[in-house]
Structure 1
Amino acid sequence: MSDSDFDFPPDLVAAEREAWAAIQAGTLTPELAGAVQDRLTAYATEARVDRYKAEMALKRAVRHPEG
């Protein structure tokens, strides 16, 4: 399964972008990290995809959008 096989909902992408910005600023909280993980787990369950693979694809999509 490639990154392009994932159709992430906008709210999940927005949550990961917020978490990534917080990581870069040194302000990531356990609550924010947990909320992103909970939403990612829900997405993976709904989409019937491997959560780990979905997480890696989401991180690549947000952190390295150029490909």
Structure 2
Amino acid sequence: MAIEPTDDLIQLQRASDEAHQAVRADPTPEAWAAWRERAGAVQAAVTEWATENGKPRNEVEAAVKKAARYPAPEA
């Protein structure tokens, strides 16, 4: 059965991805700190969701990244 990430998890991943892009564009200490903070929030949320739902953490993380980076076209 496929893992369906929540909108909250997807939004957290997108915020982390945006912070990563900011680091790539301008690698200041502030940009790195923001990325680390957002990436940590994603990791914690993914771990919590996987534990609560009895799913493998790595599969949840992959599903979240896929949903955040390659959204399905709207019907």
Smaller-chain TM-score range?
Answer: 0.7 to 0.9
1:46 aligns with 2:52: yes
Q: Which residue of 2 is the match for residue 29 of structure 1?
A: 35
Amino acid at match of 2:7: P
Deviation at 1:18, TM superposition (A): 0.6
Give the direction of change, closer, same or farther, for the CA distance of 1:56–1:22 in structure 2 (3 Å limit): same
Answer with 14-23 or 36-45: which moved more. 14-23
Q: What residue ranges of structure 1 are gaps of 5+ in the alignment? A: none
RMSD, matched Cα = 1.8
TM-score (norm 1): 0.78
Amino acid at match of 1:34: G
Q: What residue ranges of structure 2 are gaps of 5+ in the alignment? A: 24-30
Runs of 4+ in 1 over 2 A off after TM superposition: none
Amino acid at match of 1:38: A
Deviation at 1:9, TM superposition (A): 2.1
Equivalent pairs, count? 64
Amino acid at match of 2:13: E
Q: How many percent of aligned residue pairs carry the same amino acid?
A: 38
Deviation at 1:35, TM superposition (A): 1.1
Measured in 1, the distance between the counterparts of 2:36 and 2:18 equals 14
Q: Which residue of 2 is the match for residue 18 of structure 1?
A: 15
Measured in 2, the distance between the counterparts of 1:58 and 1:9 equals 8
